[in-house]
Amino acid sequence: MPIVMPIPPPCRSERGMMARSRRSNGEGTITRLPDGRWQGRLRVQGRRLAVYGKSRKEVEERLRALRGQVELLGRAPERMPLSAWVTRWLEDQALRLRPRTLARYQEILDTHVLPTLGQRPLCEIRPLHIQEALKGVLARGRSPATAQRVRNLLHKVFEDARRLELLTHNPVDPVPSPPQRPPALAVWDAPTLTRFLSATAGTKWGPLWGLLAASGLRLGEAVALTWGDVNPVTGEIRVHKSITWTRPPRILAPKTAAGRRVVVLPSWGRAVLEALWQRARQRLGRDPKGDDLLFPGPDGGLLHYEAVRSAWRRALRRTGLSGRIHDLRHAFASYLVRGGLDLKVVASLLGHADGGVLALKTYAHTLGAPERAVEVLDKALAAALPAGDDRYSGGVSGPGRPTTGGSAMSPQDSAPHRPEVAAPED
């Protein structure tokens, strides 16, 4: 809702405002301007505020919104404390952001901004205050990347205030970005990945680590997979959803069209799927259905992120290694690039390419045929794990084997699984 503030000064002292606190009847006046636009004027504590619109109805709505804002704040809107504006801003962002992103924004502001700037009126915050806040982030031992994230978020917060004409300028604009150090990206080489996957293959969580390394999926994408999304025989995985680990966890569509893609696993990745199929048959007492999760909790619901993270830490202790779950995705990309795949193809497999092009189509265009693409994947990742079909079975076996005509492969059986919350088995 556009609000036009007097320029200059951007804000006045409380004494000056109280001296001219006389108001009109509070309804405001509406007039039509020579250029055809409509103008609404409202007197607030001795100041005249104006809003504009293309029609009288639009201006009436904006005046009502302005009156509500003034009544809520009890003062000129631009003098609201930063903490109050942040609260309103986050409420607006909740309509368009994922819950986990919103929670991250709230955490950043609560930790690095509001303790020092929260009580300052919007119009009194200067570039120097922003710069000092960023210096405080670094002084507390946080990385330059964290300081940059704080700056980026503050720019969003103040830019929306400027766009709504609560401010005449964005105080973050003149503040330079913190000097950045290139991130030290440690990628597990083939012997390291072999050591990790071989040591964890027979454990409960081994198939998850193996699938991540063989597919390059994000953790949320892998944990959201149902049997209707995969074909253990051909090794195809249809990626079209991901978990957001709120409380409770939820399954959402990808953020971008590029997140919808098809990934083809190498031969040892297909062995992981087959072992998961056998485990599911033993657990369920039947063939998995299309909406059964590949990686369910004890009652078939979604896993908590904390449980996956704890399992990862146990796996690292078991192997004596260090790293993040996301490093399996980095290793996947690194092996493909070293194996000669075009960067555009790798980006498409990772879900970063624009246009949402399916990986198989990209392969066919770049390499000639899907069969050639699978061959390149196998060669690129062959050094990561020795051959053998039973390394992920963990002793599980059964007469049933997945087929392309089984229930788990039927598209009509595939449906979003209910987002139940479940703690994993120990």
Distance of alpha carbon 133 from alpha carbon 143, whole angstroms: 14
Q: What is the mean pLDDT of the chain?
A: 75
Q: Which residues contact 229 (CB under 8 A, 6 or more apart)?
A: 237, 238, 239, 240, 414
Could you report the per-residue pLDDT of 343-395, keeping only the tens digit for each? 777 787 788 754 333 333 333 333 433 444 456 556 655 555 544 445 554 44
Distance of alpha carbon 186 from alpha carbon 176, whole angstroms: 29
Cα-based torsion angle of the residue sequence 349, 351, 357, 358 in order, rounded to the nearest 10 degrees: 50
Q: What is the residue extent of each domain of the chain?
A: 14-78, 82-163, 190-422
DSSP 8-state code for residue 71:
H
368 phi/psi in degrees, rounded to 5 = 115, -35
Which candidate, 105, 104, 107, 148, places its Cα nearest to that of 130? 148
pLDDT at 61 over 50: yes
Which segment of 169-183, 210-224, 400-414 scores lowest on mean pLDDT?
Answer: 400-414
CATH class of the domain comprising 82-163:
mainly alpha
Q: Tokens 């005046």 map to which residue? A: 63
DSSP 8-state code for residue 408:
G
Are 366 and 349 a contacting pair, CB within 8 Å?
no
Could you report the per-residue pLDDT of 81-92, keeping only the tens digit for each? 899 999 989 988
Q: Which two tokens stand for residue 268?
A: 């040892």
Q: Which two tokens stand for residue 37?
A: 């636009």
- 190-422 is a CATH 3.40.50.720 domain: no
Distance of alpha carbon 89 from alpha carbon 157, whole angstroms: 7
286 phi/psi in degrees, rounded to 5 = -165, 170
Q: What is the predicted pLDDT for the residue at 376? A: 56
Which candidate, 255, 253, 273, 252, places its Cα nearest to that of 263? 273
Fold match between domain 82-163 and domain 190-422: no
Phi-psi region of 184 (alpha: psi -120 to 50; beta: other; left: phi over 0): beta
Q: What is the predicted pLDDT for the residue at 59? A: 87
DSSP 8-state code for residue 120:
S
